[in-house]
């Protein structure tokens, strides 16, 4: 078999290899997925459970065609912090979960998920071609590039915790992917995680005390921490519910644009036009309902994961069945507090090392999207759009979110959201917009996913 050949049916690899590929995808999403509950106070086990269930729901609604994994969304962290800020511990550090207010924040996120359903209906009503006229390669390409670049700081910060351990992960991933043969070449991320984790354990950089103390089996969430438990409480604060919805729902505008960028990245990576089949109306519906479902049970909002797109690009195995295996494994392990503790004990530098490669792969996919579609950068219009998208995405990301007040609510927009919206508006108003989705012609007027 040609090591660079794309595999769309992993069954020919055999069941054991498919399971290993599923484990690789599960580990790829762990670092970021588990980080969100760590930053917000939500349950790690509930996060794993609804990442798995949300992914399966997404695959059901997209006819099982899109190899996407849904993990915790970072875009809503500001919303959680605004409604349910972490409480100080004995040392004065804000590390204690605000369990009383978190369900109120989850209500706002659940409402935000319903906004996906509304946009999905617009795609269904007006057609992908009409809506995608506003998302040509000159917009989506730079946005995809910036998805990886804006995540890069997280990878570097994690690596700084212990560069030698991070370098073990990076070296194993590179060696396995470049010189590996057979299955070794397909699972470089998993091997990098294992090797780096072992290196951390051998050098006494892993604390297993939490793993030893954790029980083997347990429920992923407590009823009182869910929205259902909130509505059963005496003294329900309806004003705070409304505030949560008004504060958090606008964040969905940014995440929906990011969703479009992620779908373009996955389509470009897999050389399949998922924007048209199964269509944006299905992918948006799946993402939105998965977010609302997770929020009902006290888990973070879901989003399509760039880390797993990076794994697709590295492994060249594009079969959605592998993603579904990862989802089932996440569900299975969510019922084991000991496993959640084992994941939490993983050296920060381990995830930093593999994330450095994965985030870079996402940006590389964006470059490929622009290059393969032969976007004309001799055209000043295209240069201006790409320039502003990249400067705004990176600049705002590192200087602080753009905030503005609507009534009593303060709305915060990430750099990626500001950049994407700016790119869409500029593409719509600047002269020379002749992009037609679905055309076979390459360049400024079409996008080509080699269907």
pLDDT digits (tens, 9 = 90+) for 26-42: 877 776 677 678 768 88
* First and final C-alpha spacing in the chain: 22
Cα–Cα distance list, 366 to 116, 216, 372, 395 (Å) = 24, 42, 10, 18
Backbone angles phi, psi at 433, to 5 degrees: -75, 105
Joined tokens for residue 158: 């994690």
95, containing H or E segment: strand 94-96
Give the range among 156-165, 210-219, 398-407 with minimum mean pLDDT: 398-407
pLDDT tens, residue by residue, 25-82: 887 777 667 767 876 888 888 999 999 999 999 999 999 999 999 988 866 776 787 7
Task: Tell me if 105 sits within 8 A of 79, measured CB to CB.
Answer: yes
Q: Which residue has the higher pLDDT, 365 or 142?
A: 142
Whole-prediction pTM value? 0.71
pLDDT tens, residue by residue, 268-279: 888 888 888 898
CA 368 – CA 268 distance, rounded (Å)? 8
Backbone angles phi, psi at 84, to 5 degrees: -135, 70
Q: Which residue has the higher pLDDT, 400 or 291?
A: 291
What length does the chain have? 451
pLDDT tens, residue by residue, 296-311: 998 999 988 777 887 8
Q: How confident is the model at residue 448 (pLDDT cuts 50, 70, 90)?
A: very low
Task: Tell me if 316 sits within 8 A of 7, measured CB to CB.
Answer: yes
Q: Considering only CA atoms, which of 213, 128, 162, 171 is closest in space to residue 346? A: 162
Identify the top-confidence range among 98-112, 151-165, 213-227, 318-332: 318-332
> Residue 446 pLDDT more than 50?
no
The pLDDT of residue 143: 82
CA 133 – CA 255 distance, rounded (Å)? 19
Every domain of the chain and the residues it spans:
13-88+97-429
Tell me the average pLDDT across 137-145.
Answer: 84
> Residue 375 pLDDT more than 90?
no
């Amino acid at each position: 078999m040609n090591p660079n050949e794309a595999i769309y049916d992993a069954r020919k690899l055999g069941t054991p290899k498919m399971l290993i590929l599923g484990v690789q995808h599960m580990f790829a999403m762990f670092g970021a997925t588990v980080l969100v509950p760590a930053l917000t106070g939500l349950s790690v086990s509930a996060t794993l459970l609804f990442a798995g269930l949300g992914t399966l729901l997404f695959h059901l609604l997209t006819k099982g065609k899109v190899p996407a994994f849904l993990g915790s969304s970072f875009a809503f962290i500001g919303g959680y912090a605004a409604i349910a800020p972490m409480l100080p511990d004995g040392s004065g550090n804000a590390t204690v979960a605000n369990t009383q207010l978190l369900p109120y924040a989850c209500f706002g996120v659940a409402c935000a998920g319903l906004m996906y359903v509304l946009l999905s209906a617009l795609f269904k009503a007006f057609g992908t071609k009409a809506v995608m006229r506003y998302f040509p390669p000159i917009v989506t390409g730079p946005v995809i590039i910036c998805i990886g670049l804006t995540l890069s700081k997280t990878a570097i910060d994690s690596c700084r915790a212990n560069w030698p351990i991070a370098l073990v992960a990076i070296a194993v991933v590179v060696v396995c992917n470049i010189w590996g043969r057979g299955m070794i070449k397909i699972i470089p991320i998993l091997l990098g995680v294992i090797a780096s984790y072992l290196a951390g354990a051998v050098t006494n950089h892993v604390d297993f005390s939490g793993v030893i103390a954790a029980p083997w089996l347990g429920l992923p969430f407590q009823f009182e921490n869910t929205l259902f438990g909130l509505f059963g409480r005496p003294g329900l604060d309806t004003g705070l519910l409304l505030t949560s919805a008004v504060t958090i729902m606008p964040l969905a505008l940014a995440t929906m644009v990011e969703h479009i960028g992620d779908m373009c990245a996955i389509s470009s990576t897999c050389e399949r036009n998922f924007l048209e089949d199964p269509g944006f109306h299905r992918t948006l519906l799946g993402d939105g309902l998965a977010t609302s479902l997770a929020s009902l049970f006290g888990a973070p909002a879901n989003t399509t994961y760039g880390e797993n797109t990076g794994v697709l690009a590295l492994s060249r195995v594009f079969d959605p069945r592998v993603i579904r295996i990862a989802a089932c494994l996440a569900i299975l392990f969510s019922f084991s507090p000991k496993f959640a503790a084992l994941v939490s004990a993983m050296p920060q530098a381990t995830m930093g090392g593999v994330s450095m490669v994965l985030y870079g792969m996402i940006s590389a996919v964006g470059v490929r999207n622009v290059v393969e579609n032969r976007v004309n950068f001799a055209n000043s219009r295209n240069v201006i759009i790409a320039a502003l998208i990249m400067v705004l995405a990176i600049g705002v990301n590192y200087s602080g979110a753009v905030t503005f007040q609507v009534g009593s609510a303060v709305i915060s927009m990430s750099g990626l959201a500001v950049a994407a919206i700016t790119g869409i508006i500029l593409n719509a108003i600047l002269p020379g917009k002749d992009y037609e989705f679905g055309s076979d012609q390459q360049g400024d007027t079409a996008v080509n996913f080699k269907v």
